[in-house]
Amino acid sequence: MNIWIYTLASVTIISLVSLVGVFSLSVGKEKLRKMIVFLVSFAAGALFGDAIIHLLPESFEGIKSSFTVSLLVLLGIIFFFVLEKFIHWRHCHVLGSEEHLHPVVSMNIIGDFVHNFIDGVIIAGSFLISIPLGITTSIAVILHEIPQEIGDFGVLLFGGLTVRKALLFNFLSATSAIVGAFLVLLAGPHLQEKILFLLPVTAGGFLYIAGSDLIPELKHETKIATSIGQLAAILLGIAVMASLLFLE
């Protein structure tokens, strides 16, 4: 019962994060851009930290075969690459940049639906392994969801949707995380041992998101002060994940 409560609470919070875009309307565009740079940095550190500090050690301990774990990490990287290529799932963190605007609003909604469904699967699978692992994974997902959802909200507005419709569609696509988590929890008792194999795949996905989607965004900022701030935010994200070891 605790696993169900923790999991559903986590995916519900993640779904509600989709509404964060409305707050961006009250913040100036330039100020929002500066904030997002540090949010992305912090999220990158958290994803790297969760993958390397929590998911991979748990994978090696549970699966035993380092070769299998390594292959599954690579599978996770390739899977997320394919997902990004063929479903046009893009992590748009910089508003107003033509490079990062989705050409079709409907494709953004579909991609976000699939992405959040997978987040729900990942979170539920982590909680089935252990509650502390589920908590760290949930935090990592939530942190990278915030800048992504702000970007997705901007894409929907750019595509011609009203603020109300953009919020509604963004929220509905985010609720797929609840669906994914619910299905895994229902099947959990029958797949308990196989759930372990989801951890290195998740680690690979987190490494891919942080390395190919988040870090490249940070390279656009070349000012020394901003760069130092980005590094500090990345290290802080890693430190937060490391500190969560005390939950275990």
Lowest mean pLDDT among 2-11, 74-83, 145-154, 223-232: 145-154
**Per-residue pLDDT at 189:** 65
Average pLDDT (180-200) is: 81
Calculate what percentage of the chain has a pLDDT beyond 90. Answer: 22
Separation of alpha carbons 146 and 136, rounded Å: 16
Angle among Cα 120, 183, 17 to the nearest 5 degrees reads 25
Between the alpha carbon of residue 196 and those of residues 75, 113, 247, the distances in Å are 14, 24, 20
| Identity of residue 102 | H
Distances (CA, A) of 12 to 8, 138, 183: 6, 11, 15
Q: For the chain, first and last CA: distance in Å? A: 19
User: Residue written as tokens 């995380």?
Assistant: 177
For residue 94, pLDDT over 60 is answered with: no
Q: Which amino acid is located at 136 in the chain?
A: T
CB neighbours of 246 closer than 8 A, spacing ≥ 6? none
pLDDT of amino acid 97: 46
| CA gap 109, 115 in Å, rounded | 10
The pLDDT value given to residue 153 = 74
**Of 137-141, 145-149, 154-158, 220-224, where does mean pLDDT reach its minimum?**
154-158
Q: Is the pLDDT of residue 12 over 90?
A: yes
Q: For the whole prediction, is pTM greater than 0.85? A: no
Judge whether residue 209 has pLDDT over 60. yes
Confidence bin at 9 (pLDDT 50/70/90): very high
